[in-house]
Amino acid sequence: MADSGDFDVIIIGAGAAGLMCAATAGQRRRRVLVLDHAAELGEKIRISGGGRCNFTNLETRPERFLSNNPHFCKSALSRYTPQDFISLLARHDIPWHEKTLGQLFCDRSARDIVHMLLKETAAAGVVIRLETRIATVRNLEDGFAVETGNGVYTSEKLVIATGGPSIPKVGASGFGYDIARQFGLKVVPPRPALVPLTFDESMMALIKPLAGVAVDPVVISCNGATFREALLFTHRGLSGPAILQISSFWSEGSALTATLYRC
Ligand SMILES: Cc1cc2nc3c(=O)[nH]c(=O)nc-3n(C[C@H](O)[C@H](O)[C@H](O)COP(=O)(O)OP(=O)(O)OC[C@H]3O[C@@H](n4cnc5c(N)ncnc54)[C@H](O)[C@@H]3O)c2cc1C
C-alpha cells in the first residue's frame, strides 16, 4: 500500500548512527521518520564485537581517531562521552564488562544494544519503515523529498546515515557516497580500516602451518604507528586486535614490522 507523509527530519539508515540520531531528534520533539532498505534494523550492531558489541572504550580520546578534520572529534566527544553511553545502558539494565584496554562489551549479546535503541526511538515517537527502497532524493525549496518504493516522504531536514560499504549482506551500500556526490560534496576516497590483513598465495604458503596460532602480545609498527596487542594467524593471513589497529595505518607497499614475544 502506498504511504506518504511530511516530517521534520527524515533519516535514511537504521544503523547505530541513524537510530541514535532518531532517538535524539525525537526527544527534542521533532517528528522523525527513519527509512531503511533492509528487513531488520541495526544488523551491523548485531554482528559487532563478535556478537557482544564493543560499545565504547573508557580511553576514548579525540587524538585516537583518524580524521582529516581532527576538530570534529573534539566537539563530538565533549558533547557525548563514553560515560553518557554507559548511563544509557544502566537505564536499560544492560550488563557489561571491560575486556581489556578499556574496551566495554555486553555480557549477553549485541542484540541488547539493538533493543535499547529500538526502545529509545519508540519512546521518542520515531516512525521506522524497513524494506523501503530509496529511489530518489530531491531538494525542495524548503526541504527534501524522498521518493521510495512505498511512496514519497518530505521533510525539512535530511540525515544520511547509511554507513560504510563493508558487509553488503547486512544491508551496507555506497548510497551515502552517491548522495554526497549528487549534492556536490567532496568525497574523500574511502579505504578499509580496522580490518584483518590477507596474504597472497606465496606468503600464505609460508604461514599456513601457523593458522589458528595466537600470540599475545606483539609489538606491531607501520608508517609511524605502534601497537602492543594480540595477533592471530588465520587461514587467510593475519588478524587479532594488533592487526585490526595497524590496518588503519597500512597502505600498499608499506612495510609492517612485528616483534613476537614468547607467551
Ligand atoms: C564485523 C564487524 C564488527 C564490528 N565490531 C564493532 C564493535 O565491536 N564496536 C564498534 O564500535 N564498532 C564495530 N564495528 C563497526 C560498527 O559496526 C560500525 O561502525 C557501525 O555499525 C556503523 O554504524 P552506521 O549507523 O554508521 O552504519 P550501519 O550500521 O552500516 O547502518 C547503515 C544502515 O543503512 C542502511 N542502508 C544502507 N544503504 C541503504 C540504502 N541504499 N537505502 C536504505 N538504507 C540503506 C543499512 O541497511 C543499515 O541499516 C564492527 C563492524 C563490523 C563489520
Name the CATH superfamily housing domain 3-53+109-182. FAD/NAD(P)-binding domain (3.50.50.60)
Evaluate the omega torsion of the peptide bond into residue 209 and state whether it is cis, within 30 degrees of 0. Answer: no
Residue 258 CA, chain-centre distance (Å), reads: 28
pLDDT at 4 over 90: no
Residues 6+ apart with CB under 8 A from 129: 3, 33, 34, 35, 36, 148, 150
pLDDT of res. 3? 85
8 Å CB contact between 171 and 43: yes
Of residues 43, 44, 41, 23, the one with CA closest to residue 32: 23
pLDDT of res. 1? 62
| Residue-wise pLDDT tens digits, 14-63 | 999 999 999 999 999 999 999 999 999 999 999 999 999 999 999 999 99
CA angle 60, 217, 99 (to 5 degrees): 45
pLDDT of res. 210? 95
Probe ligand 1: pick from 105, 162, 166, max atoms within 8 Å of CB? Answer: 162
Split at pLDDT 50, 70, 90, the class of 163 is: very high
| Residue-wise pLDDT tens digits, 206-239 | 999 999 999 999 999 999 999 999 999 999 999 9
Q: Report the mean per-residue pLDDT for the chain.
A: 95
Measured between alpha carbons, how far is 145 from 5 in angstroms, rounded to an integer?
A: 10
Ligand 1 atom nearest the C-alpha of 38 is 47
Is 76 exposed, middle or buried, given 0-12, 13-18 or 19+ CB atoms closer than 10 A?
exposed
CATH of 197-260, one of 3.30.465.10, 2.40.30.10, 3.40.710.10, 3.30.43.10: 2.40.30.10
pLDDT of res. 261? 80
pLDDT at 143 over 70: yes
Q: What is the pTM of this model?
A: 0.93
Q: Where are the domains of the chain?
A: 3-53+109-182, 197-260
H or E stretch covering 18: helix 16-27
CA angle 174, 179, 182 (to 5 degrees): 130
What is the b/e burial string over 100-134, where b = at least 16 CB atoms within 10 angstroms of the residue's CB?
eeebbbbeeebebbbebbbebbeebebbbbeebeb
Split at pLDDT 50, 70, 90, the class of 263 is: low
pLDDT at 95 over 70: yes
DSSP string, 104-172: EEESS-THHHHHHHHHHHHHTT-EEE-S--EEEEEEETTEEEEEETTEEEEEEEEEE----SS-GGGT-
- Protein residues with CB under 6 Å of any ligand 1 atom: 12-18, 36-38, 41, 43-45, 47-49, 53-54, 134, 161-163, 166-167, 171-173, 175
